[in-house]
Amino acid sequence: MPNVVHEFTISMDQVRDYEFRIKFDKAQFAELQMDEPPPLGRDSGPSASRILAAAIGNCLSASLLFCARKAGAEIESIHTDVKVQIVRSENKRLRVGRVEVAIDSKLAESDKAKAAGCLPLFEDFCTVTQSIRQGIDVQVAVKGME
């Protein structure tokens, strides 16, 4: 296992049914309400799949911005759309089957040549996307059901 560079912990508590309140590790971060769509939940907040899509899109957009700035180019704005396809596995379980990310960046014509070198590089700096692509070791422990 690689050396740990940073570690954080978030917590969540069930509000009711499939609705959970997420508390982040920093006081300045607002709590987040998450829920599943019907028929399980009431759709009162984003689902885990939607949060995953947001994490992928945000990380890729931030990585592109970081690379452009390192190259001396200033991106005026970024708009990112993330399309997620939910599929059924051979065991009939719902899974994230495919994620398509479309990033629309606006930069001055004079900065396009500076930023061109970012296209083959920026994805490699996206912590979330590259981790998902390679697979993440997830250990699970359940208490109180022994």
CATH code where residue 119 lies: 3.30.300.20
Please give the tally of structural domains in the chain: 1
* DSSP β-ladder status, 32-34 and 19-23: antiparallel
Q: State what percent of residues in the chain have pLDDT above 90.
A: 88
Q: Which long-range contacts (CB under 8 A, 24 or more apart) does 77-85 make?
A: 77/105, 77/106, 78/103, 78/104, 78/105, 78/106, 79/103, 79/104, 80/104, 81/57, 82/53, 82/54, 82/56, 82/57, 84/49, 84/50, 84/52, 84/53
Q: Examine residue 140 and state whether it is found in any structural domain, yes or no.
A: no
Q: Examine residue 70 and state whether it is found in any structural domain, yes or no.
A: yes
Residue whose token pair is 């939910």: 86
Q: Examine residue 6 and state whether it is found in any structural domain, yes or no.
A: no
Average per-residue pLDDT in the chain? 93
What is the rounded CA–CA span in Å between residue 36 and residue 19? 7
Question: Considering only 54-58, 86-90, 132-136, which range has the smallest mean pLDDT?
Answer: 132-136
* pLDDT for res 1: 61
Domain encompassing residue 33: 11-134
What is the rounded CA–CA span in Å between residue 43 and residue 5? 36
Could you tell me the pLDDT band of residue 145, with boundaries at 50, 70 and 90? low
CA 3: distance to chain centroid?
22
pLDDT of residue 144 exceeding 80, the answer is no
* pLDDT for res 65: 96
Q: Examine residue 3 and state whether it is found in any structural domain, yes or no.
A: no
Q: Examine residue 50 and state whether it is found in any structural domain, yes or no.
A: yes
Instruction: Note the pTM of the prediction, 2 decimals.
Output: 0.91
Q: Examine residue 15 and state whether it is found in any structural domain, yes or no.
A: yes
Q: Examine residue 34 and state whether it is found in any structural domain, yes or no.
A: yes
Q: Examine residue 17 and state whether it is found in any structural domain, yes or no.
A: yes
pLDDT of residue 79 exceeding 70, the answer is yes
Asked if residue 128 lies in contact with residue 56, where contact means CB atoms within 8 angstroms, the answer is yes
